[in-house]
Homo-oligomer: A and B are copies of this chain.
Amino acid sequence: MEPPSDETKLPTRAAPVQLKTPKGTLDFIGTEVKLRKHIFRTVSEIFERHGGQELDTPVFELKEILSGKYGEDSKLIYDLQDQGGELCSLRYDLTVPFARWLAMNTNYPQVSRYQIAKVYRRDQPVISRGRYREFYQCDFDIAGEYESMIPDAEILLIIAEAFEALQMNITVKINHRKILDGIFAAAGVPEDKIRPISSAVDKLDKLPWDEVKQEMVEQKGLPESVADQIGQFVRHRGSLSEILSLLTSDEKLTANENVKAGIEDMSLLLSYLEAYEIADKVSFDLSLARGLDYYTGVIFEVVTSMPNTRDSGKKKEPQVGSIAAGGRYDNLVGMYCDRRVPCVGISFGVERIYTILNARLPKKKGESAIAQDLDVYVVAAGGSGLLLERMAICGQLTKAGVRAAFLRKAKPSLRSQFNAAEKAPLTVILGPDELAGGKVRLKTSTGKDTSSGAEAKGEKDRGRLVAREDLVAEVKKVLQEISQS
């Protein structure tokens, strides 16, 4: 214990401090971090399998790098205070820092990169619905000139592999910005109304057609006949081949250059997805529009699939909306330099994936997020406490890579030690007599200690005797047996 003289030095709080994290942010501890890292490791391995290089950029960028990239949402950017020197802002996403990096690093004309990091949006947080001001993004993008749709197909393959590895059933909703723009143009939507109409159409996954039409006609001033023509198409979704037939059968549409180029892209994509055997994961959804302005080609959004009817007995999973989204953006890097660096990529919604995977974990009510994973607990069965002996054995075990612990007291009670030891599959018991003979006792809490051969019943309860010099090897052997059984 610290000597009492120290207590007098305890500083008193100058003023009561508000004990909280800033609005819209959270601390994570223990299992909350572990599950997020499981997601990161799972997708990283797939990114690297596809040649992904990890990128780590500063949490803030020069303010001018971010400005003019997010339209109306620019007001959500966090700025650093002007403390003399450069004006900086916290990153809003991982795409703009990547575009800035591509513009700076001319020696990498083609690169696949991934980045997993937190991004910052001064949005109205709705913690209960998973909307935060600080949250993880997890992005994979392929940058550089390639032949049409080859990288786009690979992004879809990565999506399929990632959610397979995360054991999540998904559907990728897919559309093409040029086809969407072409449909609007062919229907007679004026150029300046294309983005507002596009955002109305995007709501078709939540609202019925009538309400979307109403918004287009009444709020956005579109003639009803134009809205009806749009409605003829955007309400359709189906397999790539079904929607391609629908589009190519309409002469007015195929006369539009944008639609023609989009159909060409999507036909190529279909053949590539068939080669990858993932065409069945994709649903061509003509209402998918995506908010961001910078998309120029294929766009996609990943949603969880309804479980099969035979799975209907399963626990219902949380409904969280799209769990990944992305698309092709060929002009963003060109905003920073005089080169054209076409890109296509995907961003995984880490928090939503976390919500789904977390709901699957078996949980006891009131269970703590902190749970130590232990292999061995070292216990003293003797009045003197045997602190130095417990430390010596614990140190030998941890140095050998074993997760070992002891009660951090000089003279703990036997009961408190055995209570703590319950968390570990193995207990090492030290007694003065055994130690004098150069031995300790090793006890399995599960009775899975098969290496000891036929054991007397008494041995099983008290643990079997092991020579001190053999203890580390014995512990490792038994742990391996337990992990394999």
A interface residue numbers (CB < 8 A to B): 1-3, 5-7, 9-11, 13-15, 17-23, 25-30, 32-34, 36-37, 46, 48-51, 53-62, 64-65, 68, 78-83, 85-86, 88, 90, 100-101, 103-105, 107-108, 111, 113, 118, 120, 122, 134, 146-148, 150-151, 153-154, 157, 161, 164, 257-258, 261, 271-272, 274-278, 296-297, 330-331, 334-337, 340, 342, 368, 370, 372-374, 387-389, 391-392, 395, 398-399, 401-405, 408-410
Our pick among B25, B58, B161 for the contact of A58 (Cβ within 8 Å) is: B25
CB-CB under 8 A for A48 and B88, given A20-B104, A59-B59, A101-B27: no
**Cross-chain contact A56 with B27 (CB below 8 angstroms):** yes
CB-CB under 8 A for A2 and B297, given A22-B86, A62-B22: yes
**Cross-chain contact A58 with B21 (CB below 8 angstroms):** yes
Residue on B nearest A37 in the bound complex, by CB = B54
Other contacts beyond A21-B58, A60-B134, A150-B387: 17, CB < 8 A: A6-B296, A10-B334, A17-B335, A22-B60, A22-B86, A29-B54, A29-B105, A29-B113, A30-B53, A34-B54, A53-B370, A80-B81, A80-B90, A271-B388, A275-B395, A276-B391, A276-B392
CB-CB under 8 A for A22 and B61, given A33-B56, A80-B78, A342-B2: yes
CB-CB under 8 A for A62 and B118, given A147-B409, A408-B147: no
Distance of A86 Cα from B29 Cα, bound (Å): 24
**Cross-chain contact A54 with B26 (CB below 8 angstroms):** no
Given the complex, which residues of B lie within 8 Å of A61, measured CB to CB? 21-22
**Cross-chain contact A50 with B398 (CB below 8 angstroms):** yes
Q: What are 30 pairs between A and B in contact, CB < 8 Å?
A: A2-B330, A3-B257, A3-B261, A5-B258, A6-B296, A10-B331, A17-B65, A17-B336, A18-B62, A20-B104, A22-B61, A22-B62, A22-B86, A27-B58, A29-B55, A48-B403, A49-B401, A49-B404, A51-B374, A53-B372, A85-B122, A147-B410, A150-B387, A154-B408, A157-B395, A275-B387, A275-B389, A276-B391, A276-B392, A277-B395
**Cross-chain contact B403 with A372 (CB below 8 angstroms):** no
A83, A275, A296, A410: most-surrounded residue (chain B CB, <10 A): A275
CB-CB under 8 A for A83 and B122, given A6-B330, A54-B33: yes
Residue on B nearest A134 in the bound complex, by CB = B58
**Cross-chain contact B55 with A275 (CB below 8 angstroms):** no
CB-CB under 8 A for A51 and B134, given A21-B61, A337-B19: no
**Cross-chain contact B22 with A402 (CB below 8 angstroms):** no
Nearest chain B CB to A322 CB, angstrom units: 23
Our pick among B3, B150, B271, B398 for the contact of A161 (Cβ within 8 Å) is: B398
Given the complex, which residues of B lie within 8 Å of A389, measured CB to CB? 275
Nearest chain B CB to A223 CB, angstrom units: 26
Given the complex, which residues of B lie within 8 Å of A387, measured CB to CB? 150, 275
Nearest chain B CB to A339 CB, angstrom units: 11
**Cross-chain contact A13 with B370 (CB below 8 angstroms):** no
**Cross-chain contact B59 with A2 (CB below 8 angstroms):** no
CB-CB under 8 A for A134 and B258, given A19-B337, A146-B408, A337-B19: no
Residue on B nearest A330 in the bound complex, by CB = B2
Nearest chain B CB to A401 CB, angstrom units: 7
Given the complex, which residues of B lie within 8 Å of A104, measured CB to CB? 19-20, 27
Given the complex, which residues of B lie within 8 Å of A101, measured CB to CB? 27, 29
Given the complex, which residues of B lie within 8 Å of A118, measured CB to CB? 59
Given the complex, which residues of B lie within 8 Å of A272, measured CB to CB? 388, 391
Residue on B nearest A120 in the bound complex, by CB = B59
- Pick the 10 closest A-B CB pairs, nearest first: A25-B58, A275-B391, A276-B395, A28-B56, A33-B54, A79-B81, A275-B388, A30-B53, A275-B392, A51-B372
Residue on B nearest A63 in the bound complex, by CB = B22
Our pick among B6, B58, B336, B399 for the contact of A22 (Cβ within 8 Å) is: B58
**Cross-chain contact A150 with B54 (CB below 8 angstroms):** no
**Cross-chain contact A100 with B29 (CB below 8 angstroms):** no
Given the complex, which residues of B lie within 8 Å of A100, measured CB to CB? 19
CB-CB under 8 A for A408 and B54, given A59-B118, A335-B13: no
Distance of A141 Cα from B6 Cα, bound (Å): 20
**Cross-chain contact B395 with A11 (CB below 8 angstroms):** no
Residue on B nearest A294 in the bound complex, by CB = B11
Given the complex, which residues of B lie within 8 Å of A86, measured CB to CB? 22-23
Distance of A51 Cα from B370 Cα, bound (Å): 10
